[in-house]
Structure 1
């Protein structure tokens, strides 16, 4: 089983649980009313869909009811699936090819498994015949670079790192310069755990991105958010 096949399998339980909960709600109502909307909202929010997306989907259901596309509870789930597919396809653009190294930032909160994910991605890309380099951009957590070094050694790829407490942007500068000079295909950048509400830490991430873009045009070409690597997400 390939890497992304395992990823999809890991998400199956979450997907089926959410759909089953939604089906349970809509089947429990003889008619579509405010109480059903309230219960749907609760299921979506507890399923980690998020407030903004939940409000959007509920508005879409109301629109479907008004347009008669939804006539009873049995029509809700198929209609929801159509809305979610359309929502996902809005930004489903292929990642453009690059002349130089493709820089991929790995971000997320503390403890979700960013470094472990980098190890898995490094192996995946190497198996695809790509040359890979790692950048130890998490200079805050104790032994973070040592942990990433272990992964680099296991996979057999080079790593660029500085001492603990160093400027993360300086690591990115050296890593992107090295990757460009050596003609590396993929540069995987580890980052310190941070919440999106911490403005100073988010600014540090922006600085890292700016520095990457100075050495390699368009970098970082991708940013991957790790939710919980231990459950396959």
Structure 2
């Protein structure tokens, strides 16, 4: 099985586990009450949907139930699908490479492919003749800096790194300083997993 097939298989298992739990909750519950919403909230949080997004989804279901837009639990999943699709259509902010350096902090839970994505983006911007630099801010995971170094070499860009266990803020500080001094266009900063779930670390 190739990499893409393994990735699709892994993601489909995650999706099945997540949706199965919601479907099980819907099947066991007679009405959309506070107990149902509390259980749904726990499923969303345990699926790494995030606190703010979970609160928004739960509030939307609660309001829809009050307005009789949702009259039974079987209508919750179609409602969530429609509501999430609308959320994802938001234009939002787009990445614009303007000021030098443009700093892009990459965050996400463990194992989602932050370092690999940085490598691919570094190569993408390098192909468009941007001067790119990478910062190995994940000093916690073993060999994270080495992995980023390999991606940097493949993309033809410099990597700023410290020893494993070093202060990530010091790595970022040195990288920003170096990026300014070397007239870098884009600086990608790799981070340790789950950073975005911990406000104090962000």
- Report if TM-score (shorter chain) is over 0.5: yes
* Matching of residue 177 in structure 1 with residue 176 in structure 2: no
Q: Name the SS of the counterpart of 1:135 in structure 2.
A: strand
* Matching of residue 28 in structure 1 with residue 28 in structure 2: yes
In structure 2, how many angstroms separate the alpha carbons of the residues matched to 1:179 and 1:66?
Answer: 56
Q: Name the SS of the counterpart of 1:68 in structure 2.
A: coil
Q: Name the SS of the counterpart of 1:188 in structure 2.
A: strand
Residue pair 1:106, 1:114 contacting (<8 A) in 2 also: yes
Alignment partner, residue 157 of structure 1: 156
Q: Name the SS of the counterpart of 2:106 in structure 1.
A: strand
Query: How far has the Cα of 1:95 moved from its partner?
Result: 2.9
- Superimposed CA distance per residue, residues 9-52 of structure 1 (whole angstroms, 9 cap, x where no aligned partner): 86444334323321221133333334323332332222222344
Residue pair 1:134, 1:160 contacting (<8 A) in 2 also: yes
Please provide the CA RMSD for this pair: 3.9
Alignment partner, residue 136 of structure 1: 135
In structure 1, how many angstroms separate the alpha carbons of the residues matched to 2:17 and 2:192?
Answer: 31
- Superimposed CA distance per residue, residues 41-94 of structure 1 (whole angstroms, 9 cap, x where no aligned partner): 332222222344333322221211121111122211121223323444456333
Alignment partner, residue 106 of structure 2: 106
* Matching of residue 38 in structure 1 with residue 42 in structure 2: no
- Superimposed CA distance per residue, residues 201-222 of structure 1 (whole angstroms, 9 cap, x where no aligned partner): 65xxxxxxxxxxxxxxxxxxxx
Alignment partner, residue 3 of structure 2: none
Q: Give TM-score scaled by structure 2 length.
A: 0.67
Aligned residues: 191
Alignment partner, residue 227 of structure 1: none
Residue pair 2:31, 2:72 contacting (<8 A) in 1 also: yes
In structure 2, how many angstroms separate the alpha carbons of the residues matched to 1:43 and 1:20?
Answer: 10
- In structure 2, relative to structure 1, the CA distance for the partners of 1:173 and 1:59 (3 Å cut) is same
- Superimposed CA distance per residue, residues 116-138 of structure 1 (whole angstroms, 9 cap, x where no aligned partner): 44223334445x64545223343
Query: How far has the Cα of 1:114 moved from its partner?
Result: 4.2
In structure 2, how many angstroms separate the alpha carbons of the residues matched to 1:122 and 1:156?
Answer: 6
Gaps of 5+ in 2: 1-5
In structure 2, how many angstroms separate the alpha carbons of the residues matched to 1:194 and 1:74?
Answer: 33
Residue pair 2:149, 2:159 contacting (<8 A) in 1 also: no
Alignment partner, residue 92 of structure 2: 92
Instruction: Compare 157-166 and 167-176 and name the one that shifted more.
Output: 157-166
Where in structure 2 are the equivalents of 1:185-196 lying within 5 Å? 186-191=186-191, 195=195
Where in structure 2 are the equivalents of 1:1-12 lying within 5 Å? 11-12=11-12
